[in-house]
């Protein structure tokens, strides 16, 4: 057995592709399959199906040391990247002796939990917090590491040494017209010097009012839809600013608001503001040359954002997304010719029932289809009065079997 202390292989000695029985949750409880060029491993409850490599009950105790014998062909610990959904906290202790390059953890907790990770050697930790659940408080590692938190940020708190970088990706609404999202108080994490904020390009905007809690920022990276960009002018100590997939830069201060800026990236941003940024970048270079990377690229017209991100199928598999987009196109054309609510209901019902016999329609996909129905209800038609959200939702619920 790989984790048999009597006669098993030594640490890092198993590097060949193949199938190996391991005592993960009990004697020979699982079979681990090593594949060429694959450095990651995912584990979680059976409900996750093929999304994980090994099915492990969320409350099952795990012997993490079973992985000690495995190594990459180059000799570094395998797996390099771990994805785990469950409640076992043993990987924090395991990481005191065996470094983990990247750990993605979706905690399933039955009680509010405090974890002491101060001695753990985690190069990168990503905590994914589901909408409902208990709170998690983390005593952060003393060694430099990258921390990422996504989902319901209000359930997370941290103390101890600051991470070298912090990434926050809150669960926001789907619609860009929703009132701005306000980041929760992140406590001691406000002392970080490097912050990345992630959001959907056409989702509910995140207000940058939250940044007044981060007085030490030297590096800021923004992805997606934000508002109150004018408040960035208060962060005069920034040396690095990155703007990616941002459809609205209307209130962005001019580059001379950040006199210490050495590095600047604007990538996939709205066209008009992007052109102004290019000019500002060249002007700045004449008085103080850029000492690090500086670029403005992939300037996008308004219609590009709608095409790329306007429909809620971007995270679907290619096969399902193709079917969904085809059904959406048909429904949109039919709705554009609708003169009555009955005709509109028929169009949305026809769209909805297309997915009744499809495999793979689970909670996330159902929410996506509900959002698609709302979008369809807001598209052009000839009825002469609006289709309400409640009306469209009722038609959707009445027709779906998922």
pLDDT digits (tens, 9 = 90+) for 177-190: 899 999 999 999 99
Given this model, what pLDDT does residue 5 score? 42
Residue recorded with tokens 């002392």: 191
Q: Are residues 286 and 327 in the same domain?
A: no
Average pLDDT over residues 44-62: 95
110: which 2 tokens? 């039955």
> Which residues contact residue 210 at a Cβ distance below 8 angstroms, ignoring those fewer than 6 apart?
182, 183
Q: Are residues 107 and 219 in the same domain?
A: yes
Average pLDDT over residues 315-344: 92
Q: Are residues 256 and 321 in the same domain?
A: no
Q: Are residues 328 and 227 in the same domain?
A: no
At residue 402 the predicted structure's pLDDT band, cuts being 50, 70 and 90, is: confident
Which backbone phi and psi does 235 adopt, to 5 degrees?
A: -95, 70
Of 109-123, 138-152, 358-372, minimum mean pLDDT range: 358-372
Is 7 a residue whose pLDDT tops 60? no
Q: Are residues 214 and 357 in the same domain?
A: no
Given this model, what pLDDT does residue 8 score? 64
Other beta carbons within 10 angstroms of residue 222's beta carbon come to: 23
200-216 residue pLDDT tens = 999 999 999 999 999 99
Q: Are residues 194 and 79 in the same domain?
A: yes
The runs of H, that is alpha helices, within 248-296 are: 271-287
Is 1 a residue whose pLDDT tops 60? no
Q: What is the mean pLDDT of the chain?
A: 93
At residue 6 the predicted structure's pLDDT band, cuts being 50, 70 and 90, is: very low
Given this model, what pLDDT does residue 257 score? 96
- Please report whether residue 1 resides in a domain: no
Sheet holding 102-107, edge to edge: 54-55, 40-44, 81-86, 102-107, 124-129, 146-151, 165-170, 194-198, 219-223, 240-246, 263-270, 294-300
- Please report whether residue 154 resides in a domain: yes
- Please report whether residue 13 resides in a domain: no
- Please report whether residue 126 resides in a domain: yes
At residue 334 the predicted structure's pLDDT band, cuts being 50, 70 and 90, is: very high
Residue 339 is part of which domain span?
A: 313-399
At residue 348 the predicted structure's pLDDT band, cuts being 50, 70 and 90, is: very high
- Please report whether residue 252 resides in a domain: yes
Helix (H, G, I), strand (E, B) or coil at 60: coil
Q: Are residues 298 and 322 in the same domain?
A: no
Q: Are residues 348 and 217 in the same domain?
A: no
- Please report whether residue 262 resides in a domain: yes
How many domains, in total, are found in the chain? 2
Which of these three, 265, 289, 307, is where a domain ends? Answer: 307
65-107 residue pLDDT tens = 999 999 998 889 999 999 999 999 999 999 999 999 999 999 9
- Please report whether residue 69 resides in a domain: yes
Is 14 a residue whose pLDDT tops 90? no
Given this model, what pLDDT does residue 318 score? 87
Which of these three, 307, 328, 354, is where a domain ends? Answer: 307
Q: Are residues 134 and 230 in the same domain?
A: yes
Q: Are residues 104 and 240 in the same domain?
A: yes
Which backbone phi and psi does 95 adopt, to 5 degrees?
A: -70, -5
Contact by Cβ (8 Å): 214, 194: no
- Please report whether residue 326 resides in a domain: yes
Given this model, what pLDDT does residue 308 score? 82
10 vs 150 pLDDT, higher one: 150
Percent of all residues in the chain with a pLDDT value above 70, rounded to a whole number: 98
Is 61 a residue whose pLDDT tops 90? yes
At residue 315 the predicted structure's pLDDT band, cuts being 50, 70 and 90, is: confident
250: which 2 tokens? 């209307």
Q: Are residues 382 and 339 in the same domain?
A: yes
> Which residues contact residue 196 at a Cβ distance below 8 angstroms, ignoring those fewer than 6 apart?
165, 166, 167, 168, 220, 221, 222, 223
Which of these three, 256, 277, 307, is where a domain ends? Answer: 307
Q: Are residues 165 and 129 in the same domain?
A: yes
Given this model, what pLDDT does residue 290 score? 95
Helix (H, G, I), strand (E, B) or coil at 373: helix
């Amino acid at each position: 057995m790989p984790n048999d202390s009597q006669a098993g292989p030594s640490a890092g000695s198993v590097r060949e592709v193949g199938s190996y029985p391991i005592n993960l949750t009990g004697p020979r409880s699982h079979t681990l399959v090593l594949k060429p060029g694959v450095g990651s491993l995912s584990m979680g409850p059976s409900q996750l199906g093929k999304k994980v490599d090994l099915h492990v009950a969320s409350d099952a105790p795990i012997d993490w040391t079973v992985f000690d014998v495995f190594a990459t062909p180059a000799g570094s610990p395998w797996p390099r990247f771990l994805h785990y959904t469950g409640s076992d906290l043993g990987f924090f202790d395991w990481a005191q002796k065996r470094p983990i390059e990247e750990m993605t953890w979706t905690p399933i907790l039955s009680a509010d939990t405090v974890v002491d990770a101060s001695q753990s050697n985690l190069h990168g930790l990503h905590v994914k917090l589901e909408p409902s659940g208990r709170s998690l408080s983390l005593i952060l590692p003393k060694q430099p590491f990258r921390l990422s938190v996504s989902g319901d940020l209000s359930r997370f708190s941290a103390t101890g040494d600051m991470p070298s970088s912090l990434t926050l990706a809150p669960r926001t609404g789907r619609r860009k017209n929703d009132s701005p999202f306000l980041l929760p108080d992140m406590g001691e994490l406000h002392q970080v010097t490097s912050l990345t904020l992630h959001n959907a390009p056409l989702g509910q905007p995140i207000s940058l009012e939250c940044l007044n809690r981060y007085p030490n920022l030297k590096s800021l990276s923004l992805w997606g839809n934000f508002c109150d960009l004018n408040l960035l002018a208060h962060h005069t100590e920034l040396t690095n600013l990155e703007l990616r997939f941002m459809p609205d830069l209307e209130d962005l201060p001019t580059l001379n608001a950040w006199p210490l800026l050495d590095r600047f990236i604007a990538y996939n941003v709205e066209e008009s503001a992007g052109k102004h940024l290019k000019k500002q970048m060249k002007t700045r270079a004449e008085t103080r040359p850029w000492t690090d990377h500086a670029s403005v690229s992939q300037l996008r017209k308004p219609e590009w954002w709608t095409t790329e991100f306007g429909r809620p199928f971007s995270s679907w598999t290619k096969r399902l997304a193709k079917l969904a987009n085809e059904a959406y196109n048909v429904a949109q054309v039919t709705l554009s010719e609708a003169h009555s609510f009955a005709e509109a209901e028929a169009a949305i019902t026809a769209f909805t029932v297309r997915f009744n016999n499809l495999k793979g329609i689970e909670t996330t996909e159902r929410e996506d289809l509900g959002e698609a129905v709302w979008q369809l209800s807001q598209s052009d038609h000839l009825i002469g009065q609006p289709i309400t959200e409640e009306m469209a939702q009722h038609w959707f619920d009445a027709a779906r079997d998922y």
